[in-house]
Amino acid sequence: MTTRMTGFDFERPAGLPALRGLLARLGKEQRRFTLAAGGTDLMPQLKQQQLATEVLVSLNGVGELAGIELASDGTLRIGALTRLAEVAESPLVRERQPALAAVAARVGSPQIRNRATLGGNLLVNNRCVYVNQSPLNRTVHAPCFKVDGDVCHIVKSAVRGKLPQCQARFVSDTAPVLLLLDARLVLLRGRGERRVPLRRFYRNDGMERNVLKPGEVLGWIEVPPAGGLRIDYDKLAVRNALDFPSLGVAVGVREDERGEPVELAVALTGLGTHPLHWRFALVGGAAPAAVVAQACARAEKSVTTYQQDFFPRDYRKKMIGTFVRRGLRRLGRGAWT
């Protein structure tokens, strides 16, 4: 029996004003709705009944939210609806933020990137072996918090409402790169909007994953000029296509005008409930190699991993340092490793 999606209405507002109107109406009617961009993350969840909704609101008619612009201060303003394939191929992104173009090309597969959006990638749902399963599979183990049950199978002592209540892991590939780039999110609500730095956006929980409020729409991702920061991203995945990161590591080295390294930055995805990132000053006489060692130790110590993935937890943890060092080698800083 093949699974089908049923039981919800579908809306596709044409343009931002129509979207605003629709969301206001749905709010007033107190109807449960879900926003869909590329739908590549959403559709499997709807099919597997991990998620239920009354109205599915497609954002694909909101042309204002697609496309890439360069502001006068050098900031890239990327519409949340911009497809990852476009981000990867955009000459503007490639020139200004090559690391972002590169990481966009590492998500999923070509078919997925043609459909998936950058906004959707930052908002991609956290994943867990107990959640991303079929209804039959989920009946074998009691339903967990994330699918409206009352237990966490990963951390048995977890309590609903007390964060972290859910250990579903964060899997966005683009988030670590955008974190190191100090990206800001423009969130639309009602007629207004607010800006939230990405580094304040995520929360330490697999269910209440971020500070996006119900009814809020991610409008744009603003990426300020890199300011001498060069970034390398690599992901641990079984295959060279399709796989979510079992671990994703972005490493950045900031150089001053004379090309002297002044900062080391590391960001991780794929391990805990949210992305992690650190910055380490390289000025003031600290030997870079010592800083790198410190950064790796810090990263390995800070993350909690669980047996939730193809790779054993210890292996994933061990790979953090390895990936940091390899990233630095690719950035021409092999001497520090």
Partner 1 sequence: MSSLNIVGRPVPQIDSRDKVLGRARFTDDIRLHHPLEVAILRSPHASARIVAVDTSRAAALPGVRGIVTGADFRHTFGVLVISKDEPAIARERVRYIGEPVAAVAAETADLAAAALALIEIRYEVTDTCLDPRAGLKPVAEPLHPGLGRDNNLHKQVDQHYGDVGAGLAAAPVVVEKRFTFAPVTHAFTEPHATQVAVDGRGNLTVYSATQVPHYLHMAMAEVLEIPEHRIRIIKPHLGGGFGGKSDPFPHEMIAAKLALVTGRNVRVNFSREEVFISNHGRHPTTMTMKLGYDPQQGVTAIDADIVIDGGAYGSFGVVTTYYNGILLQGPYRLDNLHFRTRRVYTNKPMCGAMRGHGGVNARFAAEVLLDMALVQAGVDPCQGRIDMIHRPNTLLSGGFRITSVGLKGGLEEAMRRSGWRDKYGRLPYGKGVGVACGFYISGSAAHIHRNNRPSSTVRLTLEFDGTVTVYSGAADIGQGIDTILAMMAAEVLGIGLDQVKVVVADTQLTPVDLGSYSSRVTFMAGNAARNAAISMRRLLVAAACRLLELPEPAWEKPEPPGDFFRQGRRRPDYSSDYLGPNPDYDSDGFRLANGQVTQVASGRSVPFLEAVRRALDEPGILQTFGTYRSPKLGGTFKGAAAGLSPSYSFTAFIVEVTVDPETGFVKVDRATCAHDCGTVLNPLAVQGQIEGCIHMGLGQALMEEVVHYDGVVQNASFLEYKIPSAFEQPEVVLVPTPSDETEGPFGAKEGGEGPLAPIIPAIANAIYDAVGVRLTEVPMRPDRVLAALRKAGAA
Ligand X SMILES: Cc1cc2nc3c(=O)[nH]c(=O)nc-3n(C[C@H](O)[C@H](O)[C@H](O)COP(=O)(O)OP(=O)(O)OC[C@H]3O[C@@H](n4cnc5c(N)ncnc54)[C@H](O)[C@@H]3O)c2cc1C
Residues of the shown chain interacting with ligand X in the complex, contacts defined by CB under 6 A: 34-42, 44, 59, 80, 84, 107-108, 112, 115-117, 119-121, 123-125, 171-173, 217-218, 242-244
- Alpha helices (runs of H) in 11-107, residue ranges in sequence order: 16-28, 42-47, 84-89, 91-96, 98-104
For residue 105 the two structure tokens come to: 């090309």
DSSP state of 87: H
Distance CA 243, CA 10 (A): 29
Judge contact between 173 and 134, C-beta under 8 A: no
Site string for partner 1, 297-316 (x = CB under 8 A): -------------xxx--x-
Of 5 and 163, nearer to partner 1 (C-beta) is 5
- Candidates 24-32, 138-146, 273-281, 284-292; binding stretch for partner 1 (CB under 8 A): 138-146
Residue 123's binding partner out of ligand X, partner 1, none, with CB under 5 to 8 Å set by partner kind: ligand X
Residue 42's binding partner out of ligand X, partner 1, none, with CB under 5 to 8 Å set by partner kind: ligand X
Judge contact between 316 and 309, C-beta under 8 A: yes
- Nearest partner of 52 among 19, 13, 5, judged by Cα: 5
Q: Which one among 238, 289, 290, 297 touches partner 1, defined by CB under 8 A? A: 238
Contact residues for 283 (Cβ-Cβ < 8 A; gap 6+) = 262
CB of 96 to partner 1, least distance (A): 28
| Helix (H), strand (E) at residue 220 | strand 217-223
Q: Does 52 bind partner 1 (CB under 8 A)?
A: no
Residues of this chain that bind partner 1 (CB under 8 A): 1-4, 6, 109, 129, 132-134, 136-137, 139-141, 236, 238-243, 310-312, 315, 318-319, 322, 326
